[in-house]
Amino acid sequence: MLIIHGEDTTSSYKRLSEIIDSFKKNQIEVVIKDATELDSTTLRQESQPTNLFGYSKCLIIKNLLTGNKAKQKETLIDIVSKTQDVEMVLFETKKIPISTLKPFSKAKIESFDINPVIFKFVDMLRPGNTKSLLAGWNRLMVLNHEPEYVFAMIVRQIRLLIQAKSGPSYLKLSPYPKKLITTQAAVFELPHLLDLHQLLYEIDKKIKTGSSSLPIDQFLTQFFLKV
């Protein structure tokens, strides 16, 4: 069993895609289920090592350990922790506490945490802070951080700020990060955040469609000037 977890979902999804591709190349069927789709009967059926045609398969379950909407969650976790015959991957978009991992002592664990340098940088997103933003951006480039990853983290931060501005109850974060986001959101007006989100959407569309010859780092520089 492999457990992938952490808030750096850009990197963790990339890793998950690599794993799925690897299984498919080896003629192994990949079954992907969100925890909310499962009950104990369905899970036991999907936990069989082969499909109806006798071919090997891999079961990927998303957000079983950190999600709170799964039916019979504790029962599902118990079944998963005792399953040994099938290739299984648990994929979590949040960081899993060590206590939650105790039933999976034999599992391979891969953790994807967001680089603290990136956290400090997106915390600088605020009106009137252009000089610091550009300086921080240049430091990230010197440290060879991928612009695409920084872009994804900026999108994530703006979305969190919009959620905080709309009401703290929308934020599904632990207390300390929630406090930081709420404090940062207080210096923005909601229409400005929505405009920034729209700008990021337009940048993303131009990059993916190739409708502009500008590289992503220039797009981001322009974005920082408008924060």
8 Å CB contact between 57 and 49: yes
**Residues composing the chain:** 227
Q: 58-108, pLDDT tens digit by residue?
A: 999 999 998 776 668 889 999 998 887 889 999 998 889 888 888 898 899
In angstroms, the Cα distances linking 227 to 148, 187, 205 are: 19, 11, 19
Q: Kindly report the CATH class assigned to 2-111.
A: alpha beta
Which of the 8 DSSP states describes residue 35? G
Helices (H), the chain: 9-25, 40-46, 73-82, 98-101, 116-122, 130-142, 147-166, 175-185, 190-209, 216-226
Residues 6+ apart with CB under 8 A from 169: none
- The dotted CATH code for 116-226 is 1.20.272.10
What is the structure's pLDDT at 1? 92
Domain range list for the chain:
2-111, 116-226
pTM over 0.85, yes/no: no
The pLDDT value recorded for residue 70 is 62
Distance CA 157, CA 159 (A): 5
Is the pLDDT score of 51 beyond 80?
no
Q: Are 184 and 159 a contacting pair, CB within 8 Å?
A: no
Q: Each residue of 133-160: pLDDT tens digit?
A: 999 999 998 888 889 889 999 999 999 9
The strand pairing partners of 91, in sequence order, are 4, 62
Taking each helix axis from N to C terminus, what angle separates 190-209 and 216-226, rounded to the nearest 10 degrees? 170
pLDDT at residue 158 in the model: 96
164 to each of 145, 172, 179, 204, how far by Cα in Å? 27, 10, 10, 23
Secondary structure (DSSP) of 13-24: HHHHHHHHHHHH
